[in-house]
Amino acid sequence: MASVFTKIISGEIPSYKIHEDDLTITILTIEPIHLGHCLVIPKQEVNHWYDVPEAAYLQVQKNAQKVAKAIKAVTGCSRVLTAAIGFEVQHYHLHLIPAWSMADLNFSKASKRSETEMKEIQEKIRAAL
């Protein structure tokens, strides 16, 4: 069965897309810890980060750097934290989380935001790329 990310990549499920290339897609997470919280996802559905083909893995990292700089510029955060957890969706993805302290790496703080807020931050990050 295809993961939710594979369904997003194929267009079956809508998303707030930030960036896309041949190997990866970057989207806003639907339950951000802070506005601007993104996921960088290889298009190939692979469960574990260490099994992702090298070219796709390196592209995830390259795009993470680029998008993180845009997130930092737009949100004014002190850092953009990264996390690759893997329990909630069995398709490798790298979280990019705007943060002002280590306490911001707390997924229990995640919550849905309004469509207006999501579209606004999406537009700002895309413009900063």
- The catalytic site residues sit at 93
Contacts for 47-52 with beta carbons within 8 Å, 24 or more apart?
A: 47/86, 47/90, 47/91, 47/92, 48/86, 48/92, 49/84, 49/86, 49/92, 51/92, 52/92
Between CA 86 and CA 47 the distance in angstroms is 7
Q: Please, are residues 112 and 30 in contact by the beta-carbon 8 Å criterion?
A: yes
